[in-house]
Structure 1
């Protein structure tokens, strides 16, 4: 027997309906039988009037003849067509004899409105589907960033003993037609390349017959796992400034990935642009690379590329630009820095979450020197002013809040920074909490990382157990309400230049990012990236795994929408902002965005409860009031 009532009671999310509504649903469904191989609906046909739920059998969804989803008993489809009233974006085919329960659109939408858990379930499905349905270019970014390394043709590994002569290694490389060999020395694997042999043997006039391979090779071999994606390999190559990666399957090196195997889209490819930047001899050349990067980012955004990956892409290349610019600025001065220093990036740059609206958020810390040595201060003042001007030439606009190392407030010795951090924490008035919030995302882009670590350790020591300060800091998340009205419609600006729009950064992105930042501070999490912080907060039990995933999905969707609008503004020759017009969104995007804002609201309630913000703010208000009398 089909027994729909029992089926719905045992099938999530319909089991969340009341007893009465399950009976109502069961008595109002249609039942259809499809034989194996029969088409249920075609891609691009009329908008659907029913939600399909598989009672028995299996169905595949195909797009352009490629299978995009495999569904079985208990699964439902095609809610995207139903909610957005658009033609189905895929073809549904029964791959077994299949029985479907069909729920009419009117009934489904009513239950969706009445039951939050049902709504959350289909919202998450919508997020996944909206992301999948973004158009892809056959030569575009997603075609290779999401390609598993195991699908690539790798160069075979050639292993040689570290005691062998370079001459013997050359003969083996020639025989195997390879430009490298993997060198084993006391169970450690390194790599020797043609370039190593030229630079370290022939250029130094050494005899290859009497030079051991281990004395020329680079140790250890940098490797990546077979199941990682090509994008991860590109980032690893860029980070270590190398052209080859060992590839492991479990614990065994199975091949070598070379940059020549993957550089197909040179104007967008990270290793290509990174090499171009590293060789740049002027700010004009760097500015050209910067323009190429932004053109690529606009294209990737329009293709619907994962915004987390876009942030990492911008970050890797921005880091390279800043590193090269430090080198050129020092060369311009004509004198090496007199002591250890670190150029720090803050805010979204520090988190590796930049958007298309990026300004200069940076600072500088340098090693303590004797107080009478004024030449050090003078040097870094000169360096900072030149560096900020060079960033401006490249295309990085100045920070409106003057959070720039050319501002002496953001350029200090280590001891001076510690005094400043004390001042921020001990007197957490408005601007102090804002400054420290930005500073909490600090990351070294050039220089001595130990200086950054000293600052981070000191902040943890002073603030992580300071409940009053944490409450001050957390109270910032309540400054902005999500832009949803009483009837859950979008609240927008009524007048002015942004009439009909709302600030997605202030109303959604900031409360989420800042709340996660405060939790990370309390629990001494060194990661600055929001996604990484969420993973660590989840793994340590600060928030549940499911809530962390909801927050990560919500954040990803918010920055995807912001990037979409910013890319559109840039394409029209306008300056990108953080404002979006909800009327320009599709129905599915509006549905998802409203539920994303509900997740942000839930997070604000969580922080309000955890840090007792309502009570804290009331006490603080009364205290301030008492000072007036």
Structure 2
């Protein structure tokens, strides 16, 4: 690969995309290209590492010393950093699963970047290794391990009724409760040993076969308590109580499910799926993963990055399945994600925003192929849970499946004539991120568009005005402005009134500073480093964003653990006084930063 080709590739990979042009050129000049055959080992546990590896093409599996799969990596994924940060010896074994090309950054250059680039240091030291090693069950709170609300019955109900309820709810145990007081537990084993084995009349009261006053746990106990009790007493069900009230049930199945769910396993299963149905089975596990990651106290940017990685893998797999069905593409193309997937900020609730850029050599006769490919992938994404965009901002819309020359004209018109529709479209498209295909189609266009947009002060002013359309939900007298009617009355929208105002600000800062970062938090950090906003303003806004995004994810995890679908609406009353105060303070910071940039817009105009 030429140095120019390496630079072009690195500009699409975080955190290399945060480096200055000089640093990027230096880094590109020392990368070593290495190619591995399918099944070939790249390095082994305990081996001295020559540097940090970056996947250019192909796939790499990362294995524990015991041989267990840790993760499956694809293009733009790095590996080897844990060993480099821990004395230079590999802590895992890596192997190519297909013909794979890697770029290796020598150890000395890796440590130079860690020392001199805050973005580089943050990326390779925060949160990446812990999740890949798998969840630590022993340190989890019991409240985070409960899969659902407990199924209960009163003691006077018949055994037959109890059996039917267990069947209908697909559970292996019931809590026996009277007047909201927990009395005991009945399990499928009780049904076998105390009813079937002795021929007990099924119309007898279920209270007669329950285990009275069983050992229980509290929500703030640890996973280690569950393991110790289950092993010591040889039981498979543990009620969770607060005072005399039953609030949950933890079973051996819950523990198995917890240990089986990780982003690495979901990425692996999505990459190997042969049908859309198999992919739907993978994405159905995302809510459990989200609840687990939040319960493990991962930073919000780590959680959303890992959740988005699954969407990226599903999209790339659908592209491969589409090509297998339709044949090879007549000209090169690039599938890009926009919106939250583009920013790597997906949560448990996501629709799809995407588009296709085609090589300018495309002809009218080629377009039916790409229409079919776009429909295949968009339909597949909808089937597996990434629902159709309400505004039809999808590659299946012919408007968003066009040659590069048409895209260049789109951006030129939006910048030259920034009416409300143009502002909306530009806001979506400035969050583009390549997912699969010929990345080179995007490189020149990205730089040209950013430069052109930043130079046009009228367009920037309109984009600033557009960023102020979403306001934090601040009410009078230190309260919140909640939704006044409908299903979510007395709730606040943590998406449109919470994280979106910050995402809008981040996009504007990136535009003003000609910053290529797409992720909101990365944009805020880059804006501080580039002097687009003051150090104090940036740090306040980053802390505010962290608090809002954290509470949004915690609310989704709480809904998931209660057996409900996650959404973005939260009642302030669900928070403690302390949490409400800090959330309101975060909203005040966002409002203040909006006012500051609004005054800047007024001065320009």
Taking structure 1 as the reference length, what is the TM-score of the superposition? Answer: 0.58
The answer to whether the aligner puts 1:434 opposite 2:424 as a matched pair is: yes
Alignment deviations for residues 363-409 of structure 1 (CA, whole Å, 9 cap, x no partner):
11110126xx3222111011111111111121111111111111112
Q: Secondary structure at the match of 1:365?
A: strand
Q: CA deviation at 1:238?
A: 5.5
The answer to whether the aligner puts 1:248 opposite 2:238 as a matched pair is: no
Q: CA deviation at 1:309?
A: 1.0
Alignment of 1:51-200 (within 5 A): 195-196=39-40
Aligned residue number for residue 480 of structure 2 = 490
Q: CA deviation at 1:303?
A: 4.6
Alignment deviations for residues 86-113 of structure 1 (CA, whole Å, 9 cap, x no partner):
xxxxxxxxxxxxxxxxxxxxxxxxxxxx
Alignment deviations for residues 569-595 of structure 1 (CA, whole Å, 9 cap, x no partner):
444555543322111111111010111
Paired residues, number: 401
| Partner Cα separation in structure 2 for residue 488 and residue 438 of structure 1 | 33
Aligned residue number for residue 348 of structure 2 = 356
The answer to whether the aligner puts 1:316 opposite 2:309 as a matched pair is: yes
| Partner Cα separation in structure 2 for residue 402 and residue 192 of structure 1 | 41
Aligned residue number for residue 171 of structure 2 = none
Determine which of 472, 479, 491 is the counterpart of 1:501: 491
Equivalent pair of 1:245/1:257 in contact (CA under 8 Å) = no
Shift in alpha-carbon separation, 1:510–1:376, aligned structure 2, 3 A: same
Q: Secondary structure at the match of 1:247?
A: helix
Aligned residue number for residue 330 of structure 1 = 323
Aligned residue number for residue 296 of structure 1 = 289
Alignment of 1:552-567 (within 5 A): 552-567=542-557
Aligned residue number for residue 156 of structure 2 = none
Aligned residue number for residue 458 of structure 2 = 468
Determine which of 307, 316, 329 is the counterpart of 2:300: 307
| Partner Cα separation in structure 1 for residue 582 and residue 39 of structure 2 | 52
The answer to whether the aligner puts 1:546 opposite 2:536 as a matched pair is: yes
Structure label with greater radius of gyration: 1
Shift in alpha-carbon separation, 1:194–1:336, aligned structure 2, 3 A: closer
Shift in alpha-carbon separation, 1:593–1:432, aligned structure 2, 3 A: same
Shift in alpha-carbon separation, 1:390–1:501, aligned structure 2, 3 A: same
Shift in alpha-carbon separation, 1:382–1:308, aligned structure 2, 3 A: same
Alignment of 1:264-303 (within 5 A): 264=134, 267-303=260-296
Task: Provide structure 1 residue ranges, at least 5 long, that are not aligned to the other structure.
Answer: 1-185, 201-212, 214-218, 225-229, 617-629
Shift in alpha-carbon separation, 1:241–1:611, aligned structure 2, 3 A: closer
Q: Secondary structure at the match of 1:612?
A: helix
| Partner Cα separation in structure 1 for residue 544 and residue 72 of structure 2 | 28
| Partner Cα separation in structure 2 for residue 336 and residue 412 of structure 1 | 18
Aligned residue number for residue 407 of structure 1 = 397
Taking structure 2 as the reference length, what is the TM-score of the superposition? Answer: 0.60
Aligned residue number for residue 510 of structure 1 = 500
Equivalent pair of 1:245/1:258 in contact (CA under 8 Å) = no
Alignment deviations for residues 305-353 of structure 1 (CA, whole Å, 9 cap, x no partner):
32111111112221111111110111122x1011111110001111111
Aligned residue number for residue 112 of structure 2 = none
Task: Provide structure 2 residue ranges, at least 5 long, that are not aligned to the other structure.
Answer: 1-29, 44-48, 55-63, 96-128, 136-258
Equivalent pair of 1:501/1:582 in contact (CA under 8 Å) = yes
Alignment deviations for residues 193-214 of structure 1 (CA, whole Å, 9 cap, x no partner):
99327xx9xxxxxxxxxxxx9x
Aligned residue number for residue 173 of structure 1 = none
| Partner Cα separation in structure 2 for residue 558 and residue 375 of structure 1 | 49
